[in-house]
Copies of this chain bind each other. A is one copy, B any other.
Amino acid sequence: MTTQTAFSTRDAAFVRDFHIMSEFGATEKGGVERQAASVPDGQQRQWLKGLLEARGFTVRFDRAGNQWGLYEAVPGAPFVVVGSHMDSQPTAGRYDGAYGVLAAAHAAFRLVQQWAAAGPGGQPRFNIAVVNWFNEEGSRFKPSMMGSSVYTGKLELDTALATTDAAGVSVREALDAIDCRGNYDGPEAAYCAEIHIEQGRSMEREGVTIGLVNSNWAANKYEFVVHGEQAHTGSTVIADRKDALLGASMMVVAARELADTFPGVLHTSVGQLNVYPNSPVVVPSRVSLLLDLRSADESVLAEADTLLHERIAGIERLANVTVERNHAHSWPVTPYQPEGVELAAKVAADLGLANKQVMTLAGHDSTNMKDLVPTVMLFVPSVDGISHNEHEYTTDEDIVAGLTMLTEVVNRLCNGVLED
Protein backbone atom coordinates (compact mmCIF):
# COMPACT_ATOMS: atom_id res chain seq x y z
CA MET A 1 0.00 0.00 0.00
CA THR A 2 3.01 2.39 -0.19
CA THR A 3 2.70 5.15 -2.73
CA GLN A 4 5.06 6.40 -5.42
CA THR A 5 5.44 10.04 -4.35
CA ALA A 6 9.03 11.28 -3.94
CA PHE A 7 9.14 12.73 -0.43
CA SER A 8 11.73 15.16 0.95
CA THR A 9 14.39 13.59 3.15
CA ARG A 10 12.66 14.61 6.36
CA ASP A 11 9.21 13.52 5.12
CA ALA A 12 10.67 10.17 4.06
CA ALA A 13 12.23 9.85 7.53
CA PHE A 14 8.80 10.38 9.08
CA VAL A 15 7.19 7.75 6.83
CA ARG A 16 10.02 5.37 7.67
CA ASP A 17 9.56 5.93 11.43
CA PHE A 18 5.82 5.40 11.00
CA HIS A 19 6.42 1.98 9.47
CA ILE A 20 8.96 1.04 12.16
CA MET A 21 6.49 2.13 14.86
CA SER A 22 3.74 -0.01 13.33
CA GLU A 23 5.77 -3.15 14.06
CA PHE A 24 4.98 -2.89 17.78
CA GLY A 25 2.11 -5.32 18.37
CA ALA A 26 1.74 -5.89 14.61
CA THR A 27 -0.93 -8.41 13.61
CA GLU A 28 -0.81 -10.75 10.64
CA LYS A 29 -3.53 -8.80 8.84
CA GLY A 30 -1.60 -5.52 8.85
CA GLY A 31 -3.05 -4.02 12.01
CA VAL A 32 -1.83 -3.75 15.59
CA GLU A 33 -2.87 -5.06 19.01
CA ARG A 34 -1.38 -2.80 21.60
CA GLN A 35 -3.81 -2.38 24.46
CA ALA A 36 -2.90 -0.01 27.29
CA ALA A 37 0.15 -1.11 29.34
CA SER A 38 0.47 -4.36 27.41
CA VAL A 39 3.93 -5.66 26.55
CA PRO A 40 3.94 -4.10 23.03
CA ASP A 41 2.63 -0.80 24.45
CA GLY A 42 5.53 -0.80 26.91
CA GLN A 43 8.09 -1.66 24.22
CA GLN A 44 6.80 1.05 21.94
CA ARG A 45 7.06 3.59 24.77
CA GLN A 46 10.73 2.66 25.20
CA TRP A 47 11.24 3.09 21.46
CA LEU A 48 9.60 6.54 21.56
CA LYS A 49 11.78 7.45 24.55
CA GLY A 50 14.90 6.66 22.52
CA LEU A 51 13.63 8.64 19.53
CA LEU A 52 12.96 11.73 21.67
CA GLU A 53 16.16 11.53 23.71
CA ALA A 54 18.27 11.24 20.56
CA ARG A 55 16.90 14.67 19.62
CA GLY A 56 17.68 16.22 22.98
CA PHE A 57 14.25 15.87 24.60
CA THR A 58 13.88 14.97 28.28
CA VAL A 59 11.49 12.03 28.68
CA ARG A 60 9.39 11.66 31.82
CA PHE A 61 6.43 9.51 32.87
CA ASP A 62 3.82 11.15 35.05
CA ARG A 63 1.85 9.56 37.90
CA ALA A 64 -0.92 8.46 35.52
CA GLY A 65 1.44 6.84 33.01
CA ASN A 66 1.43 9.66 30.43
CA GLN A 67 4.74 9.86 28.59
CA TRP A 68 6.18 13.34 28.11
CA GLY A 69 9.01 14.45 25.79
CA LEU A 70 10.02 17.94 26.99
CA TYR A 71 12.10 20.54 25.21
CA GLU A 72 12.71 23.72 27.13
CA ALA A 73 13.80 26.43 24.71
CA VAL A 74 12.67 29.19 27.08
CA PRO A 75 13.50 28.23 30.67
CA GLY A 76 10.44 28.44 32.92
CA ALA A 77 7.90 29.21 30.19
CA PRO A 78 4.74 27.06 29.85
CA PHE A 79 4.45 24.39 27.16
CA VAL A 80 2.54 23.85 23.97
CA VAL A 81 1.41 20.25 24.45
CA VAL A 82 1.29 18.18 21.22
CA GLY A 83 0.44 14.53 20.98
CA SER A 84 -2.11 11.76 21.03
CA HIS A 85 -1.97 8.12 22.23
CA MET A 86 -0.15 4.96 21.17
CA ASP A 87 -2.39 2.37 22.81
CA SER A 88 -4.89 0.57 20.56
CA GLN A 89 -8.10 -1.40 20.58
CA PRO A 90 -7.80 -5.20 20.18
CA THR A 91 -6.94 -6.05 16.52
CA ALA A 92 -6.97 -2.39 15.56
CA GLY A 93 -5.40 -0.19 12.88
CA ARG A 94 -1.94 1.38 12.77
CA TYR A 95 -3.03 5.03 12.54
CA ASP A 96 -5.50 5.64 15.37
CA GLY A 97 -3.55 7.64 17.94
CA ALA A 98 -0.05 6.47 17.09
CA TYR A 99 0.06 8.67 13.98
CA GLY A 100 -0.67 11.72 16.15
CA VAL A 101 2.12 10.97 18.62
CA LEU A 102 4.73 10.38 15.93
CA ALA A 103 3.60 13.48 13.97
CA ALA A 104 3.89 15.48 17.22
CA ALA A 105 7.43 14.19 17.76
CA HIS A 106 8.52 14.95 14.21
CA ALA A 107 6.84 18.39 14.29
CA ALA A 108 8.75 19.12 17.50
CA PHE A 109 12.03 17.87 15.97
CA ARG A 110 11.56 20.26 13.04
CA LEU A 111 10.79 23.22 15.27
CA VAL A 112 13.70 22.55 17.61
CA GLN A 113 16.02 22.35 14.59
CA GLN A 114 14.55 25.59 13.27
CA TRP A 115 15.03 27.32 16.63
CA ALA A 116 18.61 26.10 16.87
CA ALA A 117 19.33 27.42 13.38
CA ALA A 118 17.68 30.77 14.12
CA GLY A 119 19.95 31.67 17.02
CA PRO A 120 19.05 33.78 20.07
CA GLY A 121 16.72 36.13 18.18
CA GLY A 122 14.59 33.30 16.82
CA GLN A 123 13.49 31.65 20.04
CA PRO A 124 9.79 30.81 20.66
CA ARG A 125 7.61 32.21 23.41
CA PHE A 126 6.55 28.78 24.70
CA ASN A 127 8.31 25.48 25.17
CA ILE A 128 7.17 22.28 23.49
CA ALA A 129 6.05 19.00 25.05
CA VAL A 130 5.33 15.86 23.03
CA VAL A 131 2.79 13.66 24.84
CA ASN A 132 1.79 10.01 24.55
CA TRP A 133 -1.37 9.86 26.65
CA PHE A 134 -2.03 6.69 28.64
CA ASN A 135 -5.06 4.49 27.84
CA GLU A 136 -7.05 6.63 25.43
CA GLU A 137 -8.86 3.58 24.06
CA GLY A 138 -10.42 2.26 27.23
CA SER A 139 -10.65 -1.30 25.93
CA ARG A 140 -8.55 -2.80 28.74
CA PHE A 141 -9.24 -0.23 31.48
CA LYS A 142 -12.37 1.92 31.60
CA PRO A 143 -12.91 4.83 31.17
CA SER A 144 -11.25 5.77 27.91
CA MET A 145 -9.09 8.93 27.72
CA MET A 146 -7.84 7.99 31.19
CA GLY A 147 -4.42 9.69 31.12
CA SER A 148 -5.67 13.02 29.78
CA SER A 149 -8.63 12.89 32.19
CA VAL A 150 -6.23 12.69 35.14
CA TYR A 151 -3.98 15.41 33.72
CA THR A 152 -6.95 17.77 33.21
CA GLY A 153 -8.35 17.06 36.68
CA LYS A 154 -11.48 15.26 35.46
CA LEU A 155 -10.54 11.93 37.03
CA GLU A 156 -8.86 11.30 40.39
CA LEU A 157 -5.40 9.77 40.10
CA ASP A 158 -6.15 7.16 42.77
CA THR A 159 -9.37 6.13 41.03
CA ALA A 160 -7.49 5.67 37.76
CA LEU A 161 -4.67 3.66 39.39
CA ALA A 162 -7.12 1.39 41.20
CA THR A 163 -9.08 0.54 38.03
CA THR A 164 -8.76 -3.13 37.09
CA ASP A 165 -8.95 -4.98 33.79
CA ALA A 166 -11.02 -8.14 33.19
CA ALA A 167 -8.23 -10.28 34.73
CA GLY A 168 -8.19 -8.17 37.91
CA VAL A 169 -4.88 -6.39 37.13
CA SER A 170 -4.90 -2.76 38.27
CA VAL A 171 -3.65 0.22 36.26
CA ARG A 172 -1.04 0.71 38.99
CA GLU A 173 0.23 -2.87 38.59
CA ALA A 174 0.08 -2.75 34.80
CA LEU A 175 2.03 0.53 34.63
CA ASP A 176 4.62 -0.79 37.08
CA ALA A 177 5.00 -3.95 34.99
CA ILE A 178 6.06 -1.86 31.96
CA ASP A 179 8.01 0.56 34.18
CA CYS A 180 5.91 3.55 33.08
CA ARG A 181 4.49 4.94 36.33
CA GLY A 182 6.50 8.03 37.31
CA ASN A 183 6.30 10.67 40.03
CA TYR A 184 6.01 13.60 37.65
CA ASP A 185 2.89 15.79 37.53
CA GLY A 186 3.24 16.85 33.89
CA PRO A 187 4.26 20.24 32.52
CA GLU A 188 2.25 23.47 32.71
CA ALA A 189 0.30 23.74 29.45
CA ALA A 190 -0.39 26.97 27.58
CA TYR A 191 -1.91 25.49 24.41
CA CYS A 192 -2.57 22.09 22.94
CA ALA A 193 -2.64 20.57 19.46
CA GLU A 194 -3.51 17.07 18.27
CA ILE A 195 -3.72 15.44 14.87
CA HIS A 196 -5.69 12.24 14.25
CA ILE A 197 -7.31 10.27 11.45
CA GLU A 198 -10.94 11.20 10.78
CA GLN A 199 -12.34 7.64 11.29
CA GLY A 200 -15.16 8.59 8.92
CA ARG A 201 -15.64 9.15 5.19
CA SER A 202 -16.62 12.81 4.95
CA MET A 203 -13.19 14.27 4.16
CA GLU A 204 -12.33 11.52 1.68
CA ARG A 205 -15.68 12.03 -0.05
CA GLU A 206 -15.09 15.77 -0.43
CA GLY A 207 -11.43 15.46 -1.41
CA VAL A 208 -10.21 17.39 1.62
CA THR A 209 -6.74 16.83 3.12
CA ILE A 210 -7.09 18.65 6.46
CA GLY A 211 -10.10 18.62 8.78
CA LEU A 212 -10.43 21.59 11.14
CA VAL A 213 -12.30 20.15 14.10
CA ASN A 214 -14.73 22.72 15.52
CA SER A 215 -16.65 20.65 18.06
CA ASN A 216 -17.57 17.15 19.18
CA TRP A 217 -20.86 15.27 18.94
CA ALA A 218 -22.88 15.03 22.12
CA ALA A 219 -23.11 11.57 23.67
CA ASN A 220 -25.08 9.69 26.31
CA LYS A 221 -23.30 6.51 27.38
CA TYR A 222 -24.95 3.97 29.64
CA GLU A 223 -24.07 0.77 31.38
CA PHE A 224 -27.24 -1.27 31.74
CA VAL A 225 -27.60 -4.48 33.71
CA VAL A 226 -30.50 -6.73 32.73
CA HIS A 227 -31.66 -8.98 35.57
CA GLY A 228 -33.49 -12.26 34.98
CA GLU A 229 -33.47 -15.63 36.73
CA GLN A 230 -31.35 -18.72 36.16
CA ALA A 231 -33.41 -21.61 34.83
CA HIS A 232 -32.91 -24.75 32.80
CA THR A 233 -32.95 -23.92 29.07
CA GLY A 234 -34.54 -27.24 28.26
CA SER A 235 -37.11 -27.98 30.90
CA THR A 236 -38.31 -24.53 32.00
CA VAL A 237 -41.52 -23.58 30.20
CA ILE A 238 -41.28 -20.35 28.20
CA ALA A 239 -43.87 -18.52 30.31
CA ASP A 240 -41.78 -19.08 33.45
CA ARG A 241 -38.56 -17.72 31.97
CA LYS A 242 -36.94 -14.45 32.94
CA ASP A 243 -34.29 -14.41 30.26
CA ALA A 244 -31.79 -11.59 30.79
CA LEU A 245 -30.17 -12.25 27.40
CA LEU A 246 -33.51 -11.92 25.64
CA GLY A 247 -34.03 -8.54 27.32
CA ALA A 248 -30.50 -7.42 26.46
CA SER A 249 -30.88 -8.55 22.85
CA MET A 250 -34.12 -6.58 22.55
CA MET A 251 -32.18 -3.52 23.77
CA VAL A 252 -29.46 -4.00 21.14
CA VAL A 253 -32.13 -4.20 18.44
CA ALA A 254 -34.01 -1.21 19.91
CA ALA A 255 -30.82 0.88 19.85
CA ARG A 256 -30.37 0.25 16.13
CA GLU A 257 -34.04 0.97 15.45
CA LEU A 258 -33.59 4.32 17.18
CA ALA A 259 -30.70 5.18 14.86
CA ASP A 260 -32.92 4.25 11.91
CA THR A 261 -35.58 6.64 13.27
CA PHE A 262 -33.13 9.55 13.00
CA PRO A 263 -31.23 8.62 9.84
CA GLY A 264 -27.76 10.12 9.57
CA VAL A 265 -28.05 12.29 12.66
CA LEU A 266 -28.02 9.70 15.44
CA HIS A 267 -25.43 6.99 16.01
CA THR A 268 -26.19 4.19 18.48
CA SER A 269 -24.24 1.14 19.45
CA VAL A 270 -23.61 -1.66 21.90
CA GLY A 271 -19.92 -2.58 21.79
CA GLN A 272 -19.65 -4.63 24.97
CA LEU A 273 -22.02 -7.26 26.36
CA ASN A 274 -21.32 -9.87 29.05
CA VAL A 275 -23.56 -12.82 29.94
CA TYR A 276 -23.85 -14.68 33.28
CA PRO A 277 -23.60 -17.60 33.85
CA ASN A 278 -23.01 -18.01 30.09
CA SER A 279 -23.55 -21.76 30.19
CA PRO A 280 -25.09 -23.66 27.26
CA VAL A 281 -28.05 -24.93 29.31
CA VAL A 282 -28.82 -22.10 31.71
CA VAL A 283 -31.21 -19.22 30.99
CA PRO A 284 -28.97 -16.16 31.68
CA SER A 285 -29.74 -14.33 34.91
CA ARG A 286 -27.60 -11.25 34.32
CA VAL A 287 -26.38 -9.43 31.23
CA SER A 288 -24.44 -6.17 31.36
CA LEU A 289 -24.07 -4.01 28.28
CA LEU A 290 -22.64 -0.66 27.27
CA LEU A 291 -25.05 1.29 25.08
CA ASP A 292 -24.37 4.70 23.65
CA LEU A 293 -26.25 7.33 21.70
CA ARG A 294 -24.42 10.13 19.88
CA SER A 295 -25.60 13.11 17.87
CA ALA A 296 -24.36 16.49 16.70
CA ASP A 297 -27.84 17.78 17.58
CA GLU A 298 -28.55 17.85 21.30
CA SER A 299 -32.33 17.97 20.76
CA VAL A 300 -32.17 14.79 18.65
CA LEU A 301 -30.11 13.17 21.39
CA ALA A 302 -32.63 14.16 24.07
CA GLU A 303 -35.56 12.88 22.02
CA ALA A 304 -33.78 9.60 21.24
CA ASP A 305 -32.90 9.18 24.90
CA THR A 306 -36.53 9.53 25.93
CA LEU A 307 -37.57 6.99 23.28
CA LEU A 308 -34.85 4.59 24.45
CA HIS A 309 -36.06 4.69 28.04
CA GLU A 310 -39.66 4.14 26.91
CA ARG A 311 -38.51 1.15 24.88
CA ILE A 312 -36.66 -0.26 27.88
CA ALA A 313 -39.80 -0.08 30.01
CA GLY A 314 -41.60 -2.08 27.31
CA ILE A 315 -38.76 -4.61 27.10
CA GLU A 316 -38.93 -5.18 30.88
CA ARG A 317 -42.56 -6.27 30.43
CA LEU A 318 -42.04 -8.28 27.24
CA ALA A 319 -38.99 -10.21 28.41
CA ASN A 320 -40.06 -10.46 32.06
CA VAL A 321 -36.82 -8.87 33.28
CA THR A 322 -35.74 -5.74 35.11
CA VAL A 323 -33.25 -3.31 33.63
CA GLU A 324 -30.97 -1.39 35.95
CA ARG A 325 -29.15 1.72 34.73
CA ASN A 326 -25.86 1.21 36.47
CA HIS A 327 -23.72 4.03 35.17
CA ALA A 328 -24.35 7.01 32.94
CA HIS A 329 -21.89 9.40 31.35
CA SER A 330 -22.93 12.24 29.08
CA TRP A 331 -21.29 15.11 27.32
CA PRO A 332 -22.80 17.97 25.36
CA VAL A 333 -21.74 19.42 22.02
CA THR A 334 -18.77 21.56 23.07
CA PRO A 335 -16.80 23.71 20.66
CA TYR A 336 -13.05 23.80 20.25
CA GLN A 337 -11.89 27.41 20.74
CA PRO A 338 -12.93 29.34 17.57
CA GLU A 339 -9.59 31.23 17.53
CA GLY A 340 -7.84 27.85 17.24
CA VAL A 341 -10.07 26.76 14.35
CA GLU A 342 -9.41 30.14 12.69
CA LEU A 343 -5.65 29.76 13.17
CA ALA A 344 -5.75 26.26 11.64
CA ALA A 345 -7.79 27.53 8.66
CA LYS A 346 -5.22 30.27 8.05
CA VAL A 347 -2.31 27.81 8.24
CA ALA A 348 -4.01 25.41 5.83
CA ALA A 349 -4.68 28.24 3.40
CA ASP A 350 -1.06 29.43 3.67
CA LEU A 351 0.16 25.88 2.96
CA GLY A 352 -2.33 25.39 0.10
CA LEU A 353 -3.97 22.37 1.77
CA ALA A 354 -7.64 21.65 0.92
CA ASN A 355 -9.57 21.88 4.18
CA LYS A 356 -13.00 22.09 5.79
CA GLN A 357 -14.48 22.31 9.24
CA VAL A 358 -15.59 18.97 10.67
CA MET A 359 -17.05 17.71 13.92
CA THR A 360 -15.52 14.78 15.73
CA LEU A 361 -17.86 11.88 16.44
CA ALA A 362 -15.26 10.03 18.46
CA GLY A 363 -13.77 11.28 21.73
CA HIS A 364 -10.11 12.33 21.76
CA ASP A 365 -7.62 13.43 24.40
CA SER A 366 -7.96 16.91 22.90
CA THR A 367 -11.63 16.96 23.93
CA ASN A 368 -10.32 16.86 27.51
CA MET A 369 -7.50 19.33 26.84
CA LYS A 370 -9.74 21.93 25.22
CA ASP A 371 -11.45 22.41 28.58
CA LEU A 372 -8.08 23.32 30.10
CA VAL A 373 -6.31 25.40 27.42
CA PRO A 374 -7.03 26.60 23.86
CA THR A 375 -6.69 23.51 21.69
CA VAL A 376 -6.38 22.90 17.95
CA MET A 377 -7.63 19.56 16.67
CA LEU A 378 -6.78 18.43 13.14
CA PHE A 379 -7.86 15.44 11.05
CA VAL A 380 -6.42 13.67 8.04
CA PRO A 381 -8.69 11.44 5.90
CA SER A 382 -9.38 7.74 6.55
CA VAL A 383 -9.69 5.60 3.41
CA ASP A 384 -13.27 4.25 3.29
CA GLY A 385 -13.77 5.63 6.81
CA ILE A 386 -12.49 2.33 8.23
CA SER A 387 -11.28 2.53 11.85
CA HIS A 388 -10.92 0.32 14.93
CA ASN A 389 -10.12 -2.30 12.31
CA GLU A 390 -6.89 -3.82 11.03
CA HIS A 391 -7.65 -2.39 7.58
CA GLU A 392 -7.60 1.22 8.80
CA TYR A 393 -5.57 3.21 6.24
CA THR A 394 -4.45 6.73 5.43
CA THR A 395 -2.14 7.42 2.46
CA ASP A 396 1.48 8.37 3.03
CA GLU A 397 0.76 11.67 1.21
CA ASP A 398 -1.95 12.50 3.71
CA ILE A 399 0.07 11.61 6.81
CA VAL A 400 2.91 13.75 5.47
CA ALA A 401 0.56 16.66 4.66
CA GLY A 402 -0.86 16.37 8.16
CA LEU A 403 2.63 16.54 9.64
CA THR A 404 3.40 19.68 7.63
CA MET A 405 0.13 21.22 8.82
CA LEU A 406 0.67 20.26 12.47
CA THR A 407 4.24 21.58 12.43
CA GLU A 408 3.15 25.01 11.28
CA VAL A 409 0.19 25.21 13.69
CA VAL A 410 2.48 24.32 16.60
CA ASN A 411 5.13 26.74 15.33
CA ARG A 412 2.64 29.61 15.48
CA LEU A 413 1.27 28.50 18.88
CA CYS A 414 4.84 28.39 20.25
CA ASN A 415 5.39 31.87 18.85
CA GLY A 416 2.35 33.10 20.79
CA VAL A 417 0.07 33.85 17.81
CA LEU A 418 -3.01 33.41 20.04
CA GLU A 419 -1.62 35.57 22.85
CA ASP A 420 -2.83 38.87 21.45
Contact = CB atoms under 8 A, between A and B. Distances in A.
Interface of A: 89-92, 137-139, 142, 144, 198-201, 217, 219, 221, 229-238, 240-241, 243, 245-246, 248-250, 252-253, 256, 259-260, 263-264, 267-285, 290, 292, 294, 360-363, 385-390
B282 A237 contact: no
A144 B238 CA distance: 22
A185 to B, nearest CB: 28
A139 B89 contact: no
B256 A243 contact: yes
A107 B44 CA distance: 66
A234 B294 CA distance: 7
Contacts of A219: 234
B387 A236 contact: yes
B277 A90 contact: yes
A237 B253 contact: no
Contacts of A264: 237-238
A279 B201 contact: no
A118 B190 CA distance: 98
Given A231-B389, A234-B362, A253-B250, A280 B290 contact: yes
B260 A271 contact: no
Given A231-B386, A243-B256, A388-B282, A200 B277 contact: no
The complex is assembled from copies of this chain, and their number is 2
Nearest to A387: B232
11 contacts: A139-B277, A233-B267, A233-B271, A233-B388, A234-B363, A235-B267, A245-B270, A271-B278, A272-B280, A274-B275, A274-B278
A362 B232 CA distance: 8
Given A232-B362, A269-B283, A240 B385 contact: yes
A235 B269 contact: no
Contacts of A270: 245-246, 249
A279 B283 CA distance: 24
A282 B238 contact: no
Given A246-B256, A249-B252, A252-B245, A232 B388 contact: yes
Contacts of A137: 279, 281
Most chain B CB within 10 A, of A139, A250, A361, A388, is at A388
A105 B388 CA distance: 57
Most chain B CB within 10 A, of A221, A230, A285, is at A230
